[in-house]
Amino acid sequence: MRVSSPANPDWLLPLRERVARFAVLEPEALVQSLLIRYDPGAGIGWHRDRPVFDHVIGISLGAPATMRFRRRKPGGFDRIAVPLPPRSAYHLSGEARHEWEHSLAPMVGTRWSITFRSLSEKGRGSSRTYVSAAAAREA
């Protein structure tokens, strides 16, 4: 299965370089970008990003948000809430990326996010083609 998406637009490349430095990755490793607007009341349900992706690095702009994490344990879940203030960045990798689910609590104001993803070993070795819009719907 081969994974591809449209190239990052030129105007986004300087931010991709800064985000890559933050995550200690090569900019070229960040092959997908998502730009999303969240209106008041919008959020994201519990999920893990598709296994074709590895590192997930996000920039949070506009209204503050809360990223919630949960991991199943006997009798329930371990839970953590992480505030995402405006102009903050986060990097999901390792256990946080692969063993914990995450969600976004409903927004109190308009928020924008810019998210960059690298491919996992599975993603680099696949032959199925994904486009950004499809990956965003399924992430």
pTM over cut 0.85: no
Round to the nearest angstrom and report the end-to-end CA distance of the chain: 17
Q: How far apart are alpha carbons 3 and 89 in whole angstroms?
A: 25
Cβ density class 46-62: b for 16+ within 10 Å, e for less: eeebeebbbbbbbbbbe
- Please name the residues in contact with 44: beta carbons below 8 A apart, sequence gap of 6 or more: 103, 104
Question: Is 102 domain-assigned?
Answer: yes
Range(s) of the domain holding residue 77: 10-126
Residue at 23 is within a domain: yes
| 79: CATH | 2.60.120.1520
Taking the C-alpha atoms of residue 20 and residue 126, their distance in angstroms, rounded to an integer, is 23
Tens of pLDDT, residues 89-127: 999 999 999 999 999 999 999 999 999 999 988 777 764
Q: Is residue 5 situated within a structural domain?
A: no
Does some domain include residue 2?
no
Q: Band the pLDDT of 6: cuts 50, 70, 90.
A: low
Number of domains within the chain: 1
Residue 138 lies in a domain: no
Asked whether residue 131 is domain-assigned, the answer is no
**pLDDT tier at 8, thresholds 50, 70, 90:** confident
* pLDDT 10s digits, 16-57: 999 999 999 999 999 999 999 999 999 999 999 888 899 999
Q: What is the pLDDT of residue 126?
A: 65
Between 92 and 137, name the one with better pLDDT: 92
Q: Mind listing the pLDDT tens digit for each residue in 65-80?
A: 999 999 999 999 999 9
Whether 134 is in a domain gets the answer no
Domain-located, residue 88: yes
